[in-house]
Amino acid sequence: EVQLVESGGGLVQPGGSLRLYCAASGLSVSDYEMNWVRQAPGKGLEWVSYSNRDGGIILYADSVRGRFTISKDTAENSLYLQMNSLRADDTAVYFCARRFSRYMDVWGKGTTVTVSS
């Protein structure tokens, strides 16, 4: 069964850092383009970041560029999102998703990040 499981979320103070993890099973992250998408409480979906198969092409939303870093660990078969300089408006559920033929066809259940003092 193809599965993505996020972890690493939690409560962090403004200006702090968190590293999110997305463990893959039933698929190899190195074989697919991958995305992070977030959803603030009661709000819609926001695309956050993209990595192509080998990590050679990486893209970010303007709202996180310069603060967030996406990466893959093929040995661990995982996707990561390093989040620095966190702000209150980064509070959201963060989903990792596989991108297949332009669309996100496999999603994790999400991990919750709360930025608050």
Partner 1 sequence: DIQMTQSPSSVSASVGDRVTITCRASQDINSWLAWYQQKPGKAPNLLIYDASSLRSGVPLRFSGSGSGTDFSLTISSLQPEDFATYYCQQTNSFPHTFGQGTKLEI
Residues that bind partner 1 (CB under 8 A): 35, 37, 44-47, 50, 59, 61-62, 95, 97, 101-105, 107-110
Q: In angstroms, give the least distance from the CB of 16 to partner 1.
A: 25
For residue 71, the tally of other CB atoms under 10 A from its CB is: 14
Task: CB nearer to partner 1: give 77 or 112.
Answer: 112
Residue 91 in contact with residue 116, Cβ under 8 Å?
Answer: yes
Task: CB nearer to partner 1: give 12 or 33.
Answer: 33
Q: Which helix or strand (DSSP H or E) is residue 90 part of?
A: none
Q: DSSP letter string over 33-78?
A: EEEEEEE-TT--EEEEEEE-TTSSSEEE-TTTTTTEEEEEETTTTE
Task: CB nearer to partner 1: give 46 or 114.
Answer: 46
Task: CB nearer to partner 1: give 37 or 113.
Answer: 37
Q: In angstroms, give the least distance from the CB of 88 to partner 1.
A: 21
In this structure, what token pair is assigned to residue 13?
A: 């103070």
Side chain identity, residue 80? Y
Q: In angstroms, give the least distance from the CB of 4 to partner 1.
A: 9
